[in-house]
Structure 1
C-alpha cells in the first residue's frame, strides 16, 4: 500500500527530474534524426544516393556502439551532472558542424563523431532514473522520459520543415540553417545541467530531511535485494539476459530509426513540400506519445512486461507491412501511426527489465551494453533500406526487412520470459 510520504516524495522527484530530462532527450532526438529532413534537399545538393545517405545516417550508431559502455561507466563514477553536461555540449557542437558537410567523407565522419559525442546519454539517463525511482514505478517514469522521442518528432518535424524554407539566406542552404539552429539548444542546456541536475538522492537539498532519508533508505533496500553476484561490471556485460535484451532492442531500434530517418522521404514521395512533410510527419508521433504512456502505466499496474513488449513489436511490424501497400498520403499516415505507437510503446516495459536483475556497476555496464548493441539496429535498418531502395527502386523490401526484425524481437522476448519462468520455478523448488 502506498504511504502518503511515498506519494509525496515520488511526486516531488517526478516533477523535479522528469520534465527536465524529457527536454534533454527531445533535443537529443531532434539532433539525431533531423538528418531525415536534411535529406529532402541535401541529398540532391551533394549528390548522395539512397545507399550513401542510409549508411551515413546509420553510421552514427557505430560511434555510439564503440563508446557507449565506457561512457556509462564514467557517468556511474563521476556523476550524472558533469558527464551529461559534457555529452550535450560536445554533441551540440558536432551537430552544428553538420552544416559544413561537403561530400561523402565529411558526411560519414561527422555522423560517426556525433555518435561518439552522444554515447552514454540515453543509457545514462536510464541508469540515473534507477537511482531515484523504485522498480515498481520505473516503467511509467521511463515512459514519460521516452515520450520525448515521439514528442521530438511531433515538435521537431514542422520546425525542421520550416527551417528548410530558409534556403538562400546569407548564402546558406536550408539544411545548413536547420543543423545550425537545432544544435544551439544542446549547448545551452548542457550548461544548464551543471546547475540543475542532482547526482544522487543523498545530495537532494530540495527534499526535506525526512523525505531524503526515506528515499535513500528505500533505494538502498532495493539494491540490497538484488542478486549479489550480478554487481560486477563483467557480470553486466556477460549476462545472457543482457544479450537477449540487446537483440530485442536491436529490432525496436531498427524500427525507430527507420521512422526518424526515412519517413520524411516516404511522405515526400507523394509530391509534398518540405513544410507539409513536416506537418504530416508530426501527426503519428502525437498518437505515439499517448499510446506509450497508457501502455506503460498498464504495464506498471499489472506488473507484466513480456506481453507488453511482444504486442507492441508486432503492432509496429504490422504497420510497416501495411506501409508497403499504401498508395495515398492518408494510408501512409495510418501505417506510420501504427509503427510509431508500436515502437514507442515497446520501450518503457523493455527498459524496466534490466534493473530488475542488475545493480551497481553491473547495471551501468548492462544497460549500456543493451543500448549500444541494440542501437546497431539504427545502423542496419536505415542502411538496408537505402541499399534496397537503390537496388529495387522501392521502399517496400526495406520495410519488410525491418518488420521481420521486429517479429524476431517479439519471439526473443517470449523465449527470455520462458527461461526466466523456468529459473524462478527451479529456485523455488531448491528453497523448499
Structure 2
C-alpha cells in the first residue's frame, strides 16, 4: 500500500524531533546555566552586577551577526556536518567556562560561546522547514521548542545539584556545573554525525516511496512562494516587522531566564541551591504544557497572528504581576509568563517560514534570529539599568513586562493570514 503524507510526517517527526529536542536542551542549558551559577560565581571571581549583565548579554553579539552566514553555510555543507561540528565547538567552549575565573576570561568565553552557537538555533528552524509541511509546522516546532522549558525543568535540579559539589577535588561547584554540562554537549556533537540526515531525499529511515512523497510535497509548497533570493528577504518589510517582534520576545525570555533562579531564591529567603532550583523548575513545567498545546491549537485552527499576540500578552502580564505578588502568587504568575514567552515562539516561526523559500528563507531566518539575539543582549542590561535608574529592584521586571505587552501589539499590526488546518494523527 502506498504511503500517505500524514504517515510520512509522523514517521519523520518520531525520528527527528526527539534528537533535535535533546540538542536544544543542551544548547539552552549551556547558554543559560550562568543564571544558576550567578551568586556563587560572582562571589568567587569578584564579578560585579554590571559585568555579569554584560557577560550574560555579550553571548548574543557574535551570535547575532553570524546567524545569517551560518545558515547559508549549513545550506551549502549539509545539516549533519554543520550541526555536528557546531555542537562539538560550543560544548568545548561551555566546558571552558569552568576556567573563566576573571572578568576578561568570562567576557571572552561568553563571546566565543555565542559565536559557536550562532549556527545552531537558526539552523534548527531552517532544518524544520526543510523536513515538515507548512500546515503541521507550528505543532512540530512546538515539540522542538519544548527543549527550552525542558532544559530549565531538568537543568534546574541538575545545575543546583552540581553547584553543591563545591569543594570536590578542590574546585567550586560552578566549575563542575560548566565542565559536566559542556561534556554532555560534546557527546551529543559526536552522535549527530552518526544520526542526522541532510535532507528528505537522503533520509535513511524512510523508504524510497516515502522519500519521494515527502520531497515532492515540500517542493510543491516551495513553488508557491515568490521570495527565493537573499535580497528578497532583506527588502521585505514584513521580514523587518517580524524581526523586531522576535527581538521583543527574546527580551522577555532572557530578561527572566538569567535572573529567575536568584529571583525565586529571594522569594524563598534562601540561596540558589538544589531546593531553590526545584521551585525554579515549576514555571518551566507550566511552559511545557503551553508549548505543547498552544502551537497544536494554532495548527488545528490555522490561526497564527491572534494566538501569538494573546500568548505574548499573557507573558507580559505574568512578568508584571510577579513583581508585586506574594511568593506563592508570584510563582503562579511566573508560570503564566514562562508558558507565554516560550509557547509564542513556535507559532511565531510559522510566519517567516510560510513567507520565504530557498536561500531567502535561510537568510530570513538568520536575519530574524539576529534581531532576537540583540534582544538577548539587551535583556539583562535593560533589567540591570532599570533597577539602577529607578533605585528599585522591581523596576527591571516591570520594564520587561511593559516591553513584552508592546510586543503583543506589534504582532496585531501584522496582516492577518491563516494557514491550512492540520489534522494530527495519533500514530
TM-score, structure 2 length as denominator?
0.94
Deviations along 1:183-222, whole A, 9 cap, x unmatched? Answer: 0111111011111001111111221111111111111111
Match in the other structure for 1:339 = 337
Match in the other structure for 2:204 = 205
CA distance in 1, matches of 2:352, 2:242: 8
401-410 vs 51-60, which moves further: 401-410
Q: Does 1:370 align with 2:351?
A: no
Say how many residue pairs are matched: 415
CA distance in 2, matches of 1:83, 1:72: 9
CA distance in 2, matches of 1:65, 1:28: 16
The residue correspondences of 1:387-406 to structure 2 (distance < 5 A) are: 387-392=385-390, 394-406=392-404
Match in the other structure for 2:234 = 237
| Residue 409 (structure 1) aligned to one of 385, 395, 407 | 407
269-278 vs 197-206, which moves further: 269-278
Deviations along 1:133-159, whole A, 9 cap, x unmatched? Answer: 100000000000001100111000001
Match in the other structure for 1:145 = 144
CA distance in 2, matches of 1:190, 1:144: 21
Query: Unaligned 5+ residue runs, structure 2?
Result: 419-427
CA distance in 1, matches of 2:66, 2:393: 31
Displacement of 1:252: 1.1
Deviations along 1:241-298, whole A, 9 cap, x unmatched? Answer: 1111111111111111122210011112232241112101111111111111110011
| Residue 256 (structure 2) aligned to one of 247, 250, 259 | 259
CA distance in 1, matches of 2:367, 2:78: 19
Backbone CA RMSD of aligned residues: 1.5
Q: Does 1:44 align with 2:43?
A: yes
150-159 vs 262-271, which moves further: 262-271
Match in the other structure for 1:425 = none
CA distance in 2, matches of 1:388, 1:276: 29
TM-score, structure 1 length as denominator?
0.93
CA distance in 1, matches of 2:178, 2:254: 18
Match in the other structure for 2:421 = none
Displacement of 1:393: 5.2
Displacement of 1:36: 0.1
The residue correspondences of 1:163-178 to structure 2 (distance < 5 A) are: 163-178=162-177
Whether contact under 8 Å (1:384, 1:398) holds in the other structure is: yes
Displacement of 1:4: 6.2
391-400 vs 188-197, which moves further: 391-400
Whether contact under 8 Å (1:52, 1:386) holds in the other structure is: no
383-392 vs 12-21, which moves further: 383-392
Match in the other structure for 1:430 = none
The residue correspondences of 1:6-405 to structure 2 (distance < 5 A) are: 6-227=5-226, 230-269=227-266, 270-273=268-271, 274-328=273-327, 330-392=328-390, 394-405=392-403
CA distance in 1, matches of 2:32, 2:377: 12
